[in-house]
Amino acid sequence: MTDRFESAADQAIRQAEERGEFANLPGMGKPLPGAGQHLSEDWWVRDLIAREGITGVLPPALALKKEIQELPKVLDRLTRESEVREHVEELNTRIMKGLRGPVEGPPVTVMPLKVDVVVAEWRERR
pLDDT single digits (tens) 32-75: 877 888 888 888 888 888 888 877 778 888 889 999 999 999 99
Strand, coil or helix: what is 44?
Answer: helix
pLDDT at 46: 81
pLDDT at 3: 58
pLDDT at 89: 97
The span from the CA of 49 to the CA of 40, in Å, is 15
- DSSP state, residue 36: T
- DSSP state, residue 104: S
**Mean pLDDT value of segment 11-36:** 88
Whether pTM exceeds 0.75: no
The span from the CA of 66 to the CA of 54, in Å, is 14
